Every structure is written in C-alpha cells, then in structure tokens.
C-alpha cells in the first residue's frame, strides 16, 4: 500500500491507482492545453501568489509566477507547427527529496500537455512540499472532476514494487535527482515504447569579464553582486544551477582589483540579506576548503567570516564540481573566454555571466558544441526555472507528434 496525498488523502495500491488514472474522464480525455487543466493550473498559481504563502515560502512565489495564464499560453503557442500534438499518456515523475518545488514545474507542464500524472514525493519532503499539496487540494475545489481523476501525488519509502509498477505502466518517466538515484530507478524496466527523461547531478559556474567589472557603475555592480548572492545562497549553493567556480576573464592586474571589489560587494550583499551559515556549515566549509588545499587544487584560502570563503585555484582545470558548503567559491583567471572550452564537461549546466555580449556567448556556445553548458544567463537568473531545462524542451517532451497529411488519393495509391 502507498500513501496518496492528492487529490484525496488516503491509502491505495498501485494497480487500483493506475486503473483509476486510465479511465476516460467524464468530459472526454485530456487534450494538449486542455481548458479544464489550464483553469486549474492558473487557479493553483494564483493561490501560490497570495501574500501569506509567498511570504512564508518565497520560492513558491516564483512558481506562481511561472503558472500565470500568459506563461501557460506561451508554452502552448511554441508547440504550434506542422504536426499535431497529443499527450504522451501516463507520466511518472520522481523528483528529488531535497528540492521541494522542482516536481511542480515538471508536473504542471506535463499536466498542461494533457497527460495523466503520478508524482512520487519522498516521505522526507519538507514543509514547502506540504504547502504545495495543501494548496493543490484547495485549488481542486473549483476544478473540473477530470483534474482529480487524472492526477495523483503519492508518497512511499523505497518501495521497489511501487516504483517497478509505475515504471512498467507509464509512457514517460521523469527522474530528477542525483546520479545514484537516477541509476537506481533506471533498474526498473519501462514498457518497450516508453522512455526516460533524466535530470541528474549538474554543476554550474560563473564568468566575469574583469575589465567590465572595473568599468561597472555602482548600482550595476551592486545589483550584480546581489544577483550572484541570490544565485548562490538561496539553496545553500547546492542547487545544480548555483555557481561554484568563478572564472575571471582578463589580465592579472584587472582581475586582482576586480576580484577584491567583487568580494567586498558580495559580502555586503550577503549581510544585507541577513544570510549567514551555522557552525555545522562553517565546519563543512573548512573541511572542503582545506581538502582542496591538501589536494593541491586550492592555492590559497581566504575566509571573509563564515558566510564567504574564497579558494584561489592553482589552475583553472582544478575547478571543483562538487558541493563545498554554502558560500565557498573557487576563483581562477582566464586570459580569454575561449579558454573555457576544454574545461567544460557534460555535467556543467548553467553559466552565469557578467560583462559579455550576446554574440560572444553564442560564439562560446557554438565552440562548446555540446560538450556541456545548457544555459547562459545573467547574474541573478541562475535559479529561474524555464520550460527549456538542462537543454530539454519540456512541453515538447511531454507530447507526441501526430503526422497528419491530407494527401490526394492518387498519391497514396502510388505508394502501394
């Protein structure tokens, strides 16, 4: 038996649950962009934007923003093309335990595309996940019954049978989480036609043009430092998109000055936000930074209080990709942006940037030619979810295309 959290809290078994989902709703099967689902998602998003929720869990405000009517419409518009879009069918979502909101983005886009969805929430999910489920239940009161019939949020602790059964039943399985979690879930076979969409461990970095930083105006630099702090500290720098290494591009002299100014402004931004780290985190950071020094990767370590630790790398190739504790940044210098190319790996996801023009970034993306880096976004945007994520167009992935060609009877006959 597994716990059902949505639409009606209770217990169920996988077979019953899949059978319920498979039945055709009273008003007909869900279509891509189904009006019943759009109304529900918009109502849910509006509730997330209510001051009471947004104050308690600011990340739910971002989610509410993502679910606005115009945003949903835009996601649908972009699917217009020569092929007809239909839902994939049953989508099984396995989000990570430690990021409470990511499952909603993935589920909401899938629901918008008319899919039947099962989301497996970890029993270790936190307060934010509970708020989300409660808010979904409230929004359901005014929704068409088709919503409740086609959507399930369940929770169970390491039930191999449940994961196996949902895997066998689904048309698309969406796995968010660590490499180990992805590998573990992939042991359960899918139906022959079904496929996986995986979002494994990723790592991110920042790039700053030293001369641009030195030439920046006070408000621009303050805003950049604040954006960088947001990108980094919001999820304890453990989000895939949070930068861990800062590459400075420019001369040694410029970089020295720019880095010093950046540090001051970042420290100010952190303290004005009231962000700090506790003793356990401070020790974690010491272990990580000292470890980098012991390995020869870190040449010098500077502590600016417990909240901000700078590690100067012995070489750009020593860039760390693992979590080093909240507020630990590895710094290194490149003479030119193109020097990034050999350093980048498939694991690298987001490159936050300051001081580069769009054509330079596009040139870099072309030169990378798929080695890695799926997003190049300005400081402050690292954590902003987009329907294209990890290089994957989610609305497109959540649909199938039907080729409809109204050919003349004669041409059809010729093929035979």
Partner 1 sequence: MSVFTLPQEAKEAALLPQLAAMTERHRRDCEPYARILSATGSAPPYGSVADLPWLPVRLFKTHELRSVPEEQVFRVLTSSGTTGQRPSRVYLDREAAATQTRMLAATMRGVLGERRLPMLVADTRAVVRDPTLSARGAGVLGMMNFGRDHTFALDEEGRPDQEAVAGFLAEHGREPFLVFGFTFMVWLYLRELEADLSNGILIHSGGWKKLAEQAVDNAAFRRHFAERTGLTAVHNFYGMVEQIGTVYLEGADGSGLYCPDFADVVIRDPDTWQEAPVGAPGLIEVVSTLPTSYPGHVLLTEDLGVVHGVDDGVWPGKRFSVLGRLPRAEARGCGDTFGAAA
Query: Exactly one of 17, 75, 79, 102 binds partner 1 (CB under 8 A); which one?
Result: 102
Site for partner 1 in 267-286 (CB under 8 A): 278-284, 286
Indicate if the alpha-carbon torsion angle 17, 20, 23, 28 is positive or negative. negative
Task: Tell me: does residue 244 bind partner 1 (CB under 8 A).
Answer: no
The full 3-state SS of the chain, as one line of letters, equals CEEEEECCCEEECHHHHHHHHHCCCCCCCCCCCCHHHHHHHHHHHHHHCCHHHHHHCHHHHHHHHHCCHHHHHHHHHCCCCCCEEEECCEEEEECCCCCCCHHHHHHHHHHHCCCEEEEEECCCCCHHHHHHHHHHHHHHCCCCHHHHHHEEEEECCCCHHHHHHHHHHCCEEEEECCHHHHHHHHCCCCCCCCEEEEECCCEEEEEEEHHHHHHCCHHHHHHHHHHHHHHHHCCCCCCCCCEEEEEEECCHHHHHHHHHHHHHHHHHHHHHHCCCCCHHHHHHHHHHHHHHHHHCCEEEEEEECCCEEEEEECCHHHCCCCCCCCCEEEEEEECCHHHHHHHCCCCEEEEEEECCCHHHHHHHHHHHCCCCCCEEEECCCCCCCCCEECCEEHHHHCEEEECCCCCCHHHHHHHC
Q: Which of residues 3-62 bind partner 1 (CB under 8 A)?
A: none
Per rule CB under 8 A, is residue 201 in the interface with partner 1?
Answer: yes
- Of 3-11, 131-139, 179-187, 400-408, the segment contacting partner 1 by CB under 8 A is 179-187
Our CB check for partner 1 shows the closer of 322 and 358 to be 322
Please say which residue, 76 or 267, places its beta carbon nearer to partner 1: 267
| Nearer residue to partner 1 within complex by CB, 100 or 226 | 100
368 binds partner 1 (CB under 8 A): no
Q: How far is the CB of 132 from partner 1 (least distance, A)?
A: 15
Q: Would you say 7 or 325 has its CB closer to partner 1? A: 325
Report the residue number, 159 or 276, with the smaller CB distance to partner 1: 276
Compare residues 25 and 200 and give the one whose CB is closer to partner 1: 200
CB nearer partner 1, residue 35 or residue 180: 180
> According to CB under 8 A, which one of 60, 324, 337, 368 is a site residue for partner 1?
324
Interaction between residue 98 and partner 1 (CB under 8 A):
yes
Residues between 114 and 143 with contacts to partner 1, criterion CB under 8 A: none
Q: Measured from the CB of residue 266, what is the shortest distance to partner 1 in angstroms?
A: 19
**By the rule CB under 8 A, 178 interacts with partner 1:** yes
CB of 101 to partner 1, least distance (A): 10
Torsion of CA 371, 372, 376, 380, to 10 degrees: -160
Of 28, 29, 58, 296, which one interacts with partner 1 (CB under 8 A)?
296
Taking the complex as a whole, the smallest distance from the CB of residue 282 to partner 1 amounts, in Å, to 6
100 versus 171: smaller Cβ distance to partner 1:
100
Is there binding between residue 163 and partner 1 (CB under 8 A)?
no
Size of the site for partner 1 (CB under 8 A): 50
Contact in structure between 215 and 203 (CB atoms under 8 Å)? no
Which segment (44-52, 98-106, 154-162, 255-263) binds partner 1 by CB under 8 A? Answer: 98-106
| Positions in the binding site for partner 1 (CB under 8 A) | 96, 98-100, 102, 176-181, 199-202, 235-242, 278-284, 286-288, 290-291, 293-296, 298-301, 306, 311, 322-326
């Amino acid at each position: 038996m597994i716990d059902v959290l949505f639409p009606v809290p209770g217990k169920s078994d996988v077979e019953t649950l899949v059978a319920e989902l498979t039945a055709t709703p009273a008003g007909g099967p869900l279509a891509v962009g189904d009006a019943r689902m759009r109304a529900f998602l918009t109502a849910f998003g509006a509730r997330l934007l209510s001051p009471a929720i947004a104050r308690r869990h600011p990340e739910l405000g971002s989610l509410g923003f993502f679910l606005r009517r115009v945003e949903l419409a835009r996601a649908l518009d972009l699917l217009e093309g020569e092929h007809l879009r239909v839902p994939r069918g049953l989508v099984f979502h396995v989000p990570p335990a430690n990021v409470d909101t990511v499952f909603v983005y993935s589920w909401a886009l899938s629901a918008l595309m008319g899919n039947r969805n099962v989301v497996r929430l970890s029993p270790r999910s936190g307060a934010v996940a509970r708020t989300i489920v409660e808010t979904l239940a409230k929004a359901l009161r005014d929704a068409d019954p088709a919503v409740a019939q086609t959507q399930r949020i369940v929770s169970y602790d390491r039930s191999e049978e449940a994961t196996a059964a949902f895997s066998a039943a689904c048309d698309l399985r969406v796995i968010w989480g660590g490499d180990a979690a992805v590998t573990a879930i992939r042991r359960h076979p899918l139906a022959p036609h079904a496929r996986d969409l995986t979002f494994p461990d990723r790592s991110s970095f920042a790039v700053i043009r030293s001369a641009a930083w030195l030439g920046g105006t006070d408000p621009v630099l303050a805003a950049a430092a604040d954006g960088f702090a947001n990108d980094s500290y919001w999820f304890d720098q453990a989000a895939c998109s949070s930068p861990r290494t800062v590459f400075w591009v420019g001369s040694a002299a410029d970089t020295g000055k720019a880095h010093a100014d950046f540090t001051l402004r970042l420290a100010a931004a952190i303290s004005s936000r009231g962000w700090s780290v506790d003793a356990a985190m401070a020790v974690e950071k010491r272990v990580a930074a000292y470890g980098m020094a012991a390995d020869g990767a870190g040449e010098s370590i500077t502590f600016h209080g417990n909240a901000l630790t700078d590690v100067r790398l012995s070489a750009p190739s020593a860039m760390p990709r693992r979590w080093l504790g909240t507020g630990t940044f590895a710094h290194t210098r490149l003479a030119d942006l193109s020097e990034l190319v050999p350093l980048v790996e498939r694991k690298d996801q987001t490159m936050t940037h300051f001081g580069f023009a769009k054509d330079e970034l596009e040139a870099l993306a072309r030169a990378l030619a798929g080695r890695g880096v799926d997003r190049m976004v300005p400081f402050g945007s690292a954590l902003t979810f987009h329907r294209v994520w990890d290089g994957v167009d989610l609305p497109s992935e959540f649909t199938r295309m039907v080729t409809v060609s109204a050919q003349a009877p004669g041409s059809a006959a010729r093929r035979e």
